[in-house]
Amino acid sequence: MSAHTPGMVCSHHHLYSSLARGMPGPTSTPNNFTEILQNIWWKLDAALDPDIVYWSAALGAAEALLAGTTAIIDHHESPFSIEGSLDLIADACDFIGVRHILAYGVTDRWSDQGSLVTVLPSDAMTDAAYRGLEENKRYALTGRRSMVGVHAAFTCTDETLENVSELSRELGIGVHIHVAEALEDADAGSRLEKFAHDNWLLVHAVHLDRALPGFIAHNPRSNVNNSVGYARPAQRDSTVVLGTDGIGADMLEEFRLSFVRHREDDRNASPDVSWQWLQNGYLFFPEALNDKVTWSYDYVDDPWKTAFTPGIRCLDVVIDGQPLVHNGVPVHFDLDEVRAKASEQAARLFARMS
């Protein structure tokens, strides 16, 4: 029994979506997954600029830290503000104090004329995809930890996927990619089969029709929210990790959700399985095992108890021996100031979207 754990790891995040809460609603009701992307998320990421990227990341990182999450694997896209965007996110995470592995999501969905297009595998690689690839390379060569990001196979040409795979081999780092999240991307398995490696991070895999090498990032809340179906991660041989897909970074909450989704599918499911998915995040951030989080519940390290105890709060966080949160309050930054700056940028973001 303990009120302590190591730092939590969020293995798939989109810090750029921290300001999405309260954004203008879609002009028409989305009828499928592609329309959710077109009418909501692709409008948001197209409106991002450097100040919005920085403060969105700072707010998301602050909320993560206050939830006991000390390490984040982020997947970023800002198609009209690509160059240098990963440095801004790294700076924001460093200011807050959370560990990070960043990636820029390469995609061919923006034509060279700047309009959204349907991508055919046989199309030529776009300029925007090339620039996204360069951002991944530039950032990786600064020596900070990263992966090569890809939005998803269905918005990329074969030429782009080949270049991504080549860059990841050249840099010796994995690829962070959404895989078969919805039926629209159901042929991801056949397109990625010849490229995927053990160091790839395959996000969602809800409709993946075959085994691919790499980790699977399971995001139960996001999958429910987007109505894409249940991923059944327990039925795969891959090592599974847990992410939030941009909806905060409260990993105990995501653990509980992953357990009840598992139970809904299999009444004999044990929370030990979901707890292991949470622990697998340390394969990416072994140093987070030395971070210390104190919780408001004395049995937080017991999966069977925590699975049935909503509302456990993070009280203290110590990273690298430094106290960063004490009694639920950040020690070295002013949360009200971060919220105020983020709120200014949210107003700018919403104006740019409308």
Q: How far is the CB of 311 from Zn ion (least distance, A)?
A: 26
Interface with Zn ion, residue 74, by CB under 5 A: no
Q: How far is the CB of 219 from Zn ion (least distance, A)?
A: 7
User: Tokens 């085994």 belong to which residue?
Assistant: 211
**DSSP-assigned beta bridge partners for residue 149:** 105, 176
Q: How far is the CB of 14 from Zn ion (least distance, A)?
A: 5
Which CB atom, from 203 or from 312, has the smaller least distance to Zn ion?
203
Which CB atom, from 128 or from 201, has the smaller least distance to Zn ion?
201
Which CB atom, from 37 or from 59, has the smaller least distance to Zn ion?
37
Which CB atom, from 185 or from 245, has the smaller least distance to Zn ion?
245
CA separation for the pair 42, 325 (Å, rounded):
34
Which CB atom, from 245 or from 253, has the smaller least distance to Zn ion?
245
231-260 positions binding Zn ion, by CB under 5 A: 245
Q: Which residues 6+ apart lie within 8 Å of 337 measured at CB?
A: none
CA separation for the pair 318, 196 (Å, rounded):
36
Q: Which residues 6+ apart lie within 8 Å of 127 measured at CB?
A: 112
Q: How far is the CB of 32 from Zn ion (least distance, A)?
A: 17
User: Tokens 């995809």 belong to which residue?
Assistant: 129
Which CB atom, from 225 or from 296, has the smaller least distance to Zn ion?
225
Q: Is 68 in a helix, a strand, or coil?
A: coil
Q: How far is the CB of 151 from Zn ion (least distance, A)?
A: 9
Q: Which two tokens stand for residue 228?
A: 């894409």
- Residue type at position 222: S
Q: Which of 1, 13, 3, 4 is nearest to 244 (CA)?
A: 13
Judge contact between 148 and 177, C-beta under 8 A.
Answer: no
Q: How far is the CB of 72 from Zn ion (least distance, A)?
A: 13
Judge contact between 48 and 16, C-beta under 8 A.
Answer: yes
Which CB atom, from 214 or from 271, has the smaller least distance to Zn ion?
214
Judge contact between 314 and 328, C-beta under 8 A.
Answer: yes
Q: How far is the CB of 183 from Zn ion (least distance, A)?
A: 17
Judge contact between 46 and 52, C-beta under 8 A.
Answer: no
Handedness of CA 335, 339, 340, 342 (dihedral sign): positive
Which residues lie near Zn ion (CB under 5 A)? 245
